[in-house]
């Protein structure tokens, strides 16, 4: 049962290249499966989330983070009676455009591209991947995903201006995305805010006393579980408190989004599109808690002194490979050399690097002149 404001697969704007219906999978299910079977999706297994494999094998990768986002997204979508198939496809594809070495790699690539009058944006890169770089089918380039999934790739986390991005005008830039897409950026935040607290604690870069002192919502739940499980190991108390933080964020997003929908009076997905603002939101109190947790992670984990050598090394590797490939384009694979005849070389080199895993770029660096 779908809510009246959910996206119905039978109302999809379809694929760029028409295809016959599948006998037992709807179009959004097929999109989900195409993403899962894509090479770019598999490569997420060896792309950094926060901690590189050089630090430990036990922490989240970009792939396991994506799986967690998909799980949270499905739960929330089902509670709101949204199209779970569309939400799952969007969750699985949302990070497919990220380069190696996590955010350090993204910042390095963006800085290098800006030196050449361009930029790097992982959402737009994801669209390039599913539209062009994945070559699996005889009839067309890319994955030929439905309009709704392609639109959600670029609009799930921000609104793009048609004047700044005329190449994206087909994606209804003057309208909000449907609720299925609006959820993804928020479920992404729920996933990484809680997971990064977990990984930071496991890495011994964050301690329970420090987290409790600076993240009020965690402290509140930790006090509850201390009273409930007196004498339990600190790690188990930490797990229980963090689980309750995650549940609070998820429950609030469901309840507050439902409230926003009711107050807006929307009766269809087109009504959602025509509103001047997004409806998927945390309540003010939980938004404050989310922001506090995120700011704490930036201060205490992402910019932690212990991680800076890895970040600087990642930036150096990307810069070195980018510079070497610009100087020696003959080192590019033949398909990228062909692209360089039609597109400017810095963009082609950026595309090549963005698709690499942490392991591959390290190995390539040793082979380049």
pLDDT tens-digit readout, 308-342: 988 999 999 999 999 999 999 999 999 999 999 99
Predicted confidence (pLDDT) at residue 244 exceeds the cutoff of 90? yes
Which CATH number fits the domain that encloses residue 36? 1.10.3210.10
pLDDT category of residue 306 using cuts at 50, 70 and 90:
confident
Average confidence (pLDDT) over 240-269 = 98
Average confidence (pLDDT) over 173-177 = 96
Distance CA 71, CA 155 (A): 20
Number of folded domains in the chain? 1
Locate 244 and state its tokens: 């309750």
297: containing domain: 29-309
Distance CA 101, CA 107 (A): 10
Predicted confidence (pLDDT) at residue 67 exceeds the cutoff of 80? yes
- Asked if residue 320 is part of any domain, the answer here is no
189-193, 227-231, 303-307: which has the minimum mean pLDDT? 303-307
Predicted confidence (pLDDT) at residue 54 exceeds the cutoff of 60? no
Q: Residue 307 has what DSSP assignment?
A: G
- Asked if residue 369 is part of any domain, the answer here is no
Distance CA 90, CA 32 (A): 8
11-15, 35-39, 49-53, 347-351: which has the minimum mean pLDDT? 49-53
How many Cα atoms occupy the beta-carbon half-sphere of 81 within 13 Å? 9
Work out the number of other CB atoms within 10 angstroms of the CB of residue 127: 23
- Asked if residue 140 is part of any domain, the answer here is yes
3-state secondary structure labels for all residues of 316-331: HHHHHHHHHHHHCHHH
Predicted confidence (pLDDT) at residue 128 exceeds the cutoff of 80? yes
**pTM (2 d.p.):** 0.95
Q: Residue 207 has what DSSP assignment?
A: -
- Asked if residue 266 is part of any domain, the answer here is yes
Return the axis-axis angle of helices 284-297 and 216-228, rounded to nearest 10°.
Answer: 100
- Asked if residue 333 is part of any domain, the answer here is no
Average confidence (pLDDT) over 22-29 = 98
- Asked if residue 249 is part of any domain, the answer here is yes
Predicted confidence (pLDDT) at residue 57 exceeds the cutoff of 70? no
Locate 218 and state its tokens: 């965690």
- Asked if residue 9 is part of any domain, the answer here is no
Predicted confidence (pLDDT) at residue 296 exceeds the cutoff of 90? yes
Distance CA 265, CA 94 (A): 29
Task: Determine the pLDDT at residue 255.
Answer: 98
Task: Determine the pLDDT at residue 369.
Answer: 82
Predicted confidence (pLDDT) at residue 259 exceeds the cutoff of 80? yes
């Amino acid at each position: 049962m779908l809510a009246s404001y959910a996206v119905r697969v039978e109302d999809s704007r379809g694929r760029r290249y028409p295809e016959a219906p599948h006998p037992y999978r709807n179009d959004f299910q097929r999109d989900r499966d195409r993403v899962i079977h894509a090479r770019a999706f598999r490569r997420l297994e060896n792309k950094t989330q926060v901690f590189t494999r050089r630090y430990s094998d036990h922490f989240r990768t970009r792939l396991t983070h994506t799986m967690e986002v998909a799980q949270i997204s499905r739960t929330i979508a089902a509670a709101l009676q949204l199209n779970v198939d569309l939400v799952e496809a969007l969750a699985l594809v949302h990070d497919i455009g990220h380069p190696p070495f996590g955010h350090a790699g993204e910042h390095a690539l963006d800085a290098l591209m800006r030196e050449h009058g361009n930029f790097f944006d992982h959402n737009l890169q994801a669209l390039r991947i599913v539209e062009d770089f994945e070559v699996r089918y005889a009839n067309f380039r890319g994955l030929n995903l439905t309009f709704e999934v392609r639109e959600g790739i670029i609009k799930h986390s921000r609104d793009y201006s048609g004047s700044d991005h005329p190449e994206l005008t087909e994606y209804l830039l003057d309208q909000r995305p449907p609720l299925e897409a609006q959820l993804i950026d928020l479920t992404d935040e729920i996933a990484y805010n809680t997971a990064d607290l977990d990984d930071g604690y496991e890495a011994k870069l964050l301690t329970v006393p420090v987290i409790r002192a600076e993240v009020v919502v965690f402290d509140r739940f930790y006090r509850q579980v201390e009273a409930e499980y007196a004498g339990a190991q600190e790690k188990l108390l930490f797990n229980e408190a963090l689980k309750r933080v995650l549940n609070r964020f998820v429950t609030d997003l469901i309840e507050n989004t439902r409230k926003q929908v009711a107050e807006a009076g929307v009766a269809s997905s087109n009504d959602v599109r025509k509103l001047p603002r997004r409806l998927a939101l945390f309540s003010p109190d939980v938004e404050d808690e989310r922001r506090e947790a995120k700011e704490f992670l930036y201060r205490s984990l992402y910019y932690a002194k212990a991680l800076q050598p890895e970040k600087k090394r990642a930036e150096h590797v990307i810069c070195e490979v980018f510079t070497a490939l610009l100087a020696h384009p003959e080192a590019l694979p033949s398909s990228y050399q062909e692209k360089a005849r039609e597109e400017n070389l810095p963009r082609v080199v950026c595309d090549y690097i963005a698709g690499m895993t942490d392991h591959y770029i390290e190995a390539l660096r040793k082979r380049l002149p």
